[in-house]
Structures are given as structure tokens and as C-alpha cells.
Structure 1
């Protein structure tokens, strides 16, 4: 690969495929339906990228989840897959967005009001969401059972019932078992009312807990891309995304010299610094100032000073290999695990991955 002056996110599709297979082993007979919201968690799906094509062609994926109705329609249009080929569920429901016939998204309705809006727009296949403890989206069991009367929905039009664990990232939380029991109880009540519906409880975290839930569809997102739902890097599957950026220049500094805005880093010894061509506008968070580590020259190199919009400076004094402009530094990937870096920024890997900016080039490998 030729040298690039750009920050780059390299996506290993084969690793994603192996993660898919590992998740399928947890899912048993349930369909693994990837979550591609937020541009496939930042790795790229809103153009005709190999991500969607790989999942469709190599993993026979025919059901996908995104967040918004517009996002679902866009994914179908840009992937070239019509509603006859894939079903794309919009988890945030429906709020009167334009409908596109052949490129028809399928909303997961969270309230009777959304159900009425969907029916007034022409109706059709839809999912429904029930709240089992998160108090975010989803209706009550009574509201769900009353939809044919309250919203005029055809019971046979409901193709999916979704519930969501509020503590999926905490495997030991008692809420998981309690909510799985509620899922089982409510599923039994809804099966008779909506005979065409399949049922889905588990996202990445729920799936990797192997909860005893009778579900026909599972919804992994973060784990598919190599993240650990519980935030422990040791529990992650294979790294799929590697975020790198070029060294722009290096310099020697003497004890007492500072680096970055505000001079928050001070050299305590003769030191060597490297300036890397990525910053918080590219998704390398400012919260990593004086906390983050970068892999360069065969070693972890600490961030020196404040992360700027377009640049980050690192201390390469202890790197064993020579470092020159044009060399590429790994911001996260094989050596700097995504969830570990997130911990240094006091956030979660989901945020770091989805924050990778639009000017970061995406490169796909097999």
C-alpha cells in the first residue's frame, strides 16, 4: 500500500467474518442480524462499501438493523439491495418520513402514536418494541396487545418483536436474568396475538452472555466489529478496525520544554517527540490528552500534551525502532485495543469507534 498523508481506518473484512461466525455459535438457531447503524459503527456502510456486500454475499445476511428510518432507506439505496432482497429494521421507529416503495424500510414501532403514524402512511410490515426496564424506547405489554384496536394495525403485519436489556454490558447484573424472564413471559402472550412475529432480545452483550431466551433473531453490533460489550479488552473478539495516522515530523526537546496548547506536558529529560496527523476532528478524543498511548516504532508511546483538532504529539523517546516522517502510528487496533483506549479516555469503545471522522479514509482488506 502506498504511503498516504491521511489518517486511515483499515477494516479487515475477514476478521469481521470470523467474528460473525463466533457470534453465530452463541446464537444457535437464531438468525444473526447485524446492526449497521451509525455507518456500521463508523467502519462504513452508507456507500456501496464491501461491508454490506461482504455480509450479504459471504454470510448470507438478509436482515439488518439501523437506528433511523432515513438511515435504513439510505442503506438500501446505496447498497443496491431492495426490500425484496433484505429487510432493514429502523429501531427508532417511524415519524412520518417519506416512503420509497421498492426501497422500503421496516420501522420498529415504540408507541401507539408511532403505530398510528405508520398506519396512516399506508401501513405494511413493521416491528414493535417493548420496554422491559430501560425506560428509553418501547411500549408496555398492554399497549402492544392493543395495537390492532388502538392503531388499526393488521396483526399479521407485525413481523418482529424487540426487547432490549438495560444491563447488557454488565454480565453479572441481576437485571439480565429478570429481564430475560420478562421477555419469555411477554413473548408467550404476544405469540398468539401476532402469529407472523419473530422475537429478539439479545444485542452483542446479551448474546455473549448466552441467556436462555427463546428468540429467533439476535442483533450484534459492537462485538461484530471487534469490541468487548463489557468493556474488558480480554473479552473482545478479533480486532476489525485499525485506526492509523502518519508521522508528520519529529523533533528533539530539552528538559523543561513543553508541548501543545497550554504547555501541559513538560520534558523531564532530553526527549524526542513525533507529531501525528490526526486529532479530535478525526475521532482521536481530546480526553486522551496526556493519557492516551499510541503504537509507533515497536512500542507504546504516550500522548504528550493536549490533543489538537488535527494533530496529536507523542513522546517517542523510548521507542526502539527509528521513526521518520511518513511512518504510520496506530491509534487503536491490534496493539492498542479499542476498549483499553476507551478506558483511558473515560468512555466506551462504542463512542471511540463511531467518532472516527469523515475525512479519515476507509480501506477494506480481506
Structure 2
């Protein structure tokens, strides 16, 4: 056999298990289940549900729900009717609440899927009761009280009237939502707990819930009967400013598709926002803002750029993040790790979701829920 050319050697060494995509998202379902169990243990005997809206925070509602059901979760929260119908197909025996409540005209489908809307207005209450009357039964629902978010829910002053007018439905939960639970010393937390206590007194015997991810960790321990974590399940830090108690769930990597050397004065990307100040080696990876890497992770005066880990070394984004590509400064990275075809880490052990979000001047919730559909997806432990 003759001597192989570099291209032939590359083809011969190709791993058929490698994804053809230039970006890869690995979801650790074992870590997800472990996070749920940790939150359940912290809930002082309250039931631990799970928020699986926005396609399981971008990680895949189907895989996420199956793993959580296997771990023991029996109550789920979604944003809207379509997410609820998907959840019902995935978990036929689960309790499923819909944060949107009774969107106009959706009551028959909510009832048909056995979903429980989070009702926050008298119009919704009347529509849900009327739908139940047509079906010959009182339909189950959560009663949502707004204790400060000013987004959804009955004002606390309407709680008594809401209770009086709930005879046509079957309330199974009274709920509210913290607005600053990530700040354990915020005075508004105590005010909201007090307002919620006053409102739930009008619904004796009905289970109560106010704590989402950060609320589970508040010193007041406002766990009531049910906690409903979301972000923390997926590895997000529910205690900003302190060490993250959750295990990372999402790992994101991208493949280098091109490497080149720049001379001093050469620019990179649209509008030449980066100019090389020294001889610079750059690598282009096959992921961009269409894949959920925020364009705001582009370097700006006084603001750090996003980074990727190349051969154990952090390498900054240079130039503008574009739709399909990000360019990295790999001048100081090991040559063998910064070559065409190599994989670099964007989220993982060295870069958590909060760090990527901070460098992009956004929040980890947005980073997770915008992860694109072009990634090769691999699920571990589920």
C-alpha cells in the first residue's frame, strides 16, 4: 500500500460515530434527575414538581420529562396549551398545570387533555366553570394570585371574591410567583410571603405553591405543599453570588472548520470590529447566533467577549458573532487542539451557563432556551 496523502489519512482516521453536524449538545439526564432529587430533598417534605416549558428549557421536552418521571416527578408545569398536550402524551398519569391559564377559546382542549390551567382572572374562571358545566363536572385548576409580579394572577384583594366564585371549578392549588427570590435579602420576599399567606387563607385545605428554583433556597423556606423548580433542574445556579449547588446538565461543543494566520492589522468578521495587534492564529467554529450563541457575546469596549475552551485553554471570541460562525483567537492554544476538525467546548466543566450568559450580557435562561436545532443532540443516562 502506498503512502497516504494528508487528506487520505484524515478520511481513513475518521470516526463514523462522530456527528456530521459542526455543533454538538450533550444533555446529561442523570444529572437532571440528580438535581430534581436534590431539590426534592431540600423541600421539607413538600412535593417537588418540575417546570418543563420552552421545550424543557431548550434541552428537549420529551427526554427531559421521561427522565423526570423515571426519577419520581408527578407534577409538571408548562406555559401553554400545546406544551401541555405534548406533556400529557409523554406522561399520561401526571398532573400538568398550564401557566397561561385559560386562553380564549382553549378551554375545551385543555379539558380534553386533562390539563389544569393556572387561572388568574374572573373571565378565565367563568369560562372554565362554563366548560365544566357543559361536560357535567367541575374542572380542576390552580388559582393564581399576583403578589407583586404584576404579570398574571388575581390581585390579593380579589382573593376572597375569587374563592367565593370558584364553586363551579375544583381548585387543586393556590399559587403565586416570587419576583426577586434570587436575592435572599430582598425585603419584597417577606412582603410576598405575607400577601400569599393572606390570600391562601381564603382557600382552606387547598395545597399552596410559591417557590420556583431560587425560592427553594430562601431562608424563609417558603415551600408550602409544592415547589416547582425549572432553571435549577437544568444546571442553572439558583443562588447567584454563591457556588452553584446544581450539577451541569448541558454541554455544548463546536467543531473547528477553518484555521488561519493573521498579520498585524488584519481584521476579522463583519465591519472589521477586531483588528490583530500581533501575529494571530484564529480558528472558525461552526456555530453562531442561529445556534443560540448570542451576538452580544461579541467583544465590545470595556466588555469581555465570549470564550471557548481549546485544549484546556480559554480562547476569546474575536470579531462579530455571525449567524453560522464564531472566530476564536487560538494563538496560545496547543496546535494539536486548534486544528481543522477539532472540537472546542462552549459549555461544560470550565464554562457554566451563567458565565456564557454574563459575557453575552444576558441571563442563563435565555442561553438555554435559545440553543438551536442544528446541534447534534446526545442524551446520557436516560
Normalised by the size of structure 2, how large is the TM-score? 0.87
The answer for the alignment partner of 2:117 in structure 1 is 107
The answer for the alignment partner of 2:73 in structure 1 is 61
Correspondences of 1:161-176 after superposition (within 5 Å): 161-176=174-189
**Which protein is bigger by CA-based radius of gyration?**
2
Deviation, 1:212, is 3.4
The answer for the alignment partner of 1:186 in structure 2 is 199
Correspondences of 1:122-271 after superposition (within 5 Å): 122=132, 124-147=139-162, 149-150=164-165, 153-154=168-169, 157-191=170-204, 195=205, 197-213=206-222, 215-232=224-241, 234-271=243-280
Q: Distance in 2 between matches of 1:61 and 1:190?
A: 25
Q: Distance in 2 between matches of 1:250 and 1:236?
A: 38
Correspondences of 1:295-310 after superposition (within 5 Å): 295-310=309-324
Deviation, 1:232, is 4.0
How large is the Cα RMSD of the aligned pairs?
1.8
Deviations 1:293-313 (CA, angstroms, capped at 9, x unpaired): 111121110001000001111
Instruction: Describe the shift of the 1:209–1:147 C-alpha distance in structure 2 as closer, same or farther (beyond 3 A).
Output: closer
Match of 1:33 among 34, 38, 49: 49
The answer for the alignment partner of 1:325 in structure 2 is 340
Instruction: Describe the shift of the 1:233–1:360 C-alpha distance in structure 2 as closer, same or farther (beyond 3 A).
Output: farther
Deviations 1:175-227 (CA, angstroms, capped at 9, x unpaired): 11221222223323321xxx3x2100100011022423351100100011111
Q: Report which stretch shifted further, 160-169 or 94-103.
A: 94-103
Match of 2:26 among 3, 6, 10: 10
SS in 2 for 1:121: helix
Deviation, 1:2, is 2.1
Instruction: Describe the shift of the 1:281–1:221 C-alpha distance in structure 2 as closer, same or farther (beyond 3 A).
Output: same
Q: Distance in 2 between matches of 1:283 and 1:274?
A: 19
The answer for the alignment partner of 1:90 in structure 2 is 98
Q: Distance in 2 between matches of 1:234 and 1:296?
A: 25
Structure 2 unmatched ranges of 5 or more: 1-16, 133-137, 300-304
Deviations 1:75-127 (CA, angstroms, capped at 9, x unpaired): 222x2x22xx1011001111121416663211010111111121222251111
Deviations 1:9-54 (CA, angstroms, capped at 9, x unpaired): 1111111122112212221101110100101110111xxx332111
CA contact (8 A) 1:184 1:214 kept: no
CA contact (8 A) 1:301 1:319 kept: yes
CA contact (8 A) 2:43 2:223 kept: no
Q: Distance in 2 between matches of 1:306 and 1:315?
A: 13
CA contact (8 A) 2:290 2:324 kept: yes
Deviation, 1:331, is 1.5
Match of 2:60 among 40, 44, 48: 44
CA contact (8 A) 2:21 2:376 kept: no
Q: Distance in 1 between matches of 2:323 and 2:28?
A: 27
The answer for the alignment partner of 2:288 in structure 1 is 279
CA contact (8 A) 1:134 1:166 kept: yes
Structure 1 unmatched ranges of 5 or more: none
Normalised by the size of structure 1, how large is the TM-score? 0.91
Q: Distance in 2 between matches of 1:331 and 1:227?
A: 15
Q: In the comparison of the two structures, how many residue pairs are matched? A: 352
